[in-house]
Amino acid sequence: MATITLKDLASKLNLSTATVSRALRDSYDIGAETKKRVKELAKELNFSPNPNASNLRSQSTKTIAIVIPEIANNFFALAINGIEEIAREKGYHVLIYLSHELHTKEVSILQHLLNGRVDGVLMSMASETENIDHINELIKNKIPLVFFDRVREDIDAAKIVTDDRFGGFSATKHLLERGCKKIAYLSLSSRLKNSIDRFNGYKDALIESALEFDSDNFIDCGNDNKHNFSLIYKLLTRKNNKVDGIFSASENLVLLTYQICKELNIKVPQQLKVITFSNSPTSSFLSPSLSTITQPAYDIGKEAASLLFKSIEKKKVDYSDVVKVLKSNLLIRNSSS
């Protein structure tokens, strides 16, 4: 007996193959009567779906989504290029969604993705996100998901990150070796693991040098640049307990620091040494040139995308035990010399 195909069913029922396929999958947009007719005939003719026709059956979208907090950030620009290299090899389209660091926006994006418009999701969390129900919903729905850079420990998904703690340690140790005694830490967020790890690395270096951590030197910056400006301004104008070094978790915060130093006529590096996490190509052309801890952003993107495609292709969604840590680089320039 010849194998019955979707096309045979469609022809016998006077329907399109797409309608038959959807009826068999109980799609919402096919009427009950049509579904009944299709299913009955399929049963009668002993139809079994062709396992090679997976594209039709699983409704593969050949599309992945990247959900990131912001776009004016060289780390994400490079990571996206890494992701797109892998996606291009696989013949996939890449959609980029911006959360603008907002929890509500992130929730709305993930809801939008729940309806199966993409085959997988690469994500870096918004700094304002506390409640992670929306992320757990995605995981519960078995949508392949890989986090890169910004993630929390209590999220049960694959993670590609940098050695943030070691990066924070190296940056702070470098400032200490250059003679700094009072170093402030500009935090990106007190919720994100990478910002916390950078802070822990900073504390490790202080402890190693037998220095005590002074909580006045933890500057809890956020997403409001006006607020960040006033926090850093306050730090650099305080009468007592003056700092002689700044380690920043984010390049945006260092630009504010440069601006304030210019206004206050504070000389970098003579009066204040500065180092930051950054992937900006302008670092070496700034005045003074900026010392950085630089993440392998492109490789992080590639690794995250490769893992996501493994998950998509094997239909094995759970890579939640995979945590890959890539090394960052210390690049010493004039701002800390």
Interacting residues toward a second copy by CB under 8 A: 10, 14-16, 18-19, 28-34, 63, 71-72, 74, 76-78, 80-81, 84, 93-98, 100, 108-109, 112, 117, 255, 258-259, 262, 280-282, 284-289
**Contact indicator for 126, 101 with CB cutoff of 8 Å:** yes
Return the structure tokens found at 88. 């291009």
Non-local (6+) Cβ contacts of 152 within 8 A are 125, 132, 191, 192, 193
Interatomic CA distance for residues 301 and 18, integer angstroms: 35
Helix (H) / strand (E) containing 217: none
Return the structure tokens found at 256. 């504010």
Q: Which is nearer to a second copy, 63 or 320 (CB)?
A: 63
Minimum Å gap between C-beta 71 and a second copy is: 5
Minimum Å gap between C-beta 32 and a second copy is: 8
**Contact indicator for 183, 202 with CB cutoff of 8 Å:** yes
Q: Which is nearer to a second copy, 18 or 325 (CB)?
A: 18
Minimum Å gap between C-beta 309 and a second copy is: 18
Residue 278 DSSP code: -
Output the CA–CA distances (angstroms, integers) from residue 279 to 28, 109, 239, 288, 303, in the order listed. Answer: 46, 26, 33, 17, 18
Minimum Å gap between C-beta 33 and a second copy is: 4
CA-based radius of gyration for the chain: 26
Q: Which is nearer to a second copy, 95 or 323 (CB)?
A: 95
Minimum Å gap between C-beta 182 and a second copy is: 24
Return the structure tokens found at 187. 């935090």
